[in-house]
Structure 1
Amino acid sequence: MYRRTILQSFKLAWGGVQFIFTSERNMKIHCVFAVLAVISSFVFRITEIEFIFVIFAIALVMITEAANTAFELLLDYVHGDRYHPDIKLLKDILAGAVLISALNAFVVGIVIFMPKIVKVGLSICKL
């Protein structure tokens, strides 16, 4: 059995990350929102705990999108181009997992950023 070095394993994993970010439109969209969330974190000077929640929410979305992509590729490989309602259901469930994680990230963003946005808005209105 061939054993990879840690560096070889890292290179293979990085190749998977590159594939997802270059081939999946939804991952690109998630990435844009992730960058906006991180920039907003610095602009609004959120606490360390709040930042951890933001990072975990981002990671959860990215992980579920990666798993969704991997399982969809596997289903396509195993089942081919033929339509089957069970395969459709599996893909819908996978997409649902991504949706749940994205909604979670949205709620985390609202809870953390909305009070700060309102505070800035009120201070601008007082000018």
Structure 2
Amino acid sequence: MNKFLKSFGYSFSGIAYAFKMEWNFRFHLIALLLVILAGWFFELSLNDWLWISAAGGIVITAELFNTAIEVLVDLVSPEIHPKAKIVKDVASAAVLVSAITAFVIGLIIFIPKILMYAA
């Protein structure tokens, strides 16, 4: 059980590292916080919250994987190498695709609510 509890400490250390070292991670956390506040304001349905939670979780997870990949590539290939660049670019692209998908989900959920509120 002690080993199990220690694993949470390692996980939180990883989150803390990403928060401290990665501007994009902080940006996505702030964006997620704003979406949560907007969801609270517009009183989202359970179904909407499920979509927001899934999209936000996927973006944050992609950011964490991207950070891990970048650190690993820097460790195994400290010199500039074309394949190392490709690995980093593809990991970054995964974050971009997940963020665009989350943005579209947000538009689908929030635009009708904003239009209804404005009317």
Match of 1:86 among 45, 61, 83: 83
Q: In the comparison of the two structures, how many residue pairs are matched? A: 119
- Give the SS at the match of 1:46: coil
The equivalent residue for 1:33 is: 31
Q: In structure 2, how many angstroms separate the alpha carbons of the residues matched to 1:53 and 1:17?
A: 23
User: Which amino acid counterpart does residue 100 of structure 1 have in structure 2?
Assistant: V
The equivalent residue for 2:75 is: 77
**Paired-residue identity, %:** 33
Gaps of 5+ in 2: none
Offset, 1:84: 1.2
Alignment of 1:1-127 (within 5 A): 5-80=3-78, 82-122=79-119
- Give the SS at the match of 1:72: helix
> What TM-score do the two structures reach when normalised by structure 1?
0.90
Offset, 1:120: 1.1
- Root-mean-square deviation (CA), in Å? 1.2
Q: In structure 2, how many angstroms separate the alpha carbons of the residues matched to 1:70 and 1:91?
A: 10
- Give the SS at the match of 1:5: helix
Poorly superposed stretches of 4+, deviation over 3 Å: none
**Larger of the two Rg values belongs to structure:** 1
Q: Map Cα deviations across residues 49-87 of structure 1 (whole Å, 9 max, x no partner).
A: 11010011010000000000001100000011x211111
Gaps of 5+ in 1: 123-127
Offset, 1:5: 1.5
> What TM-score do the two structures reach when normalised by structure 2?
0.96
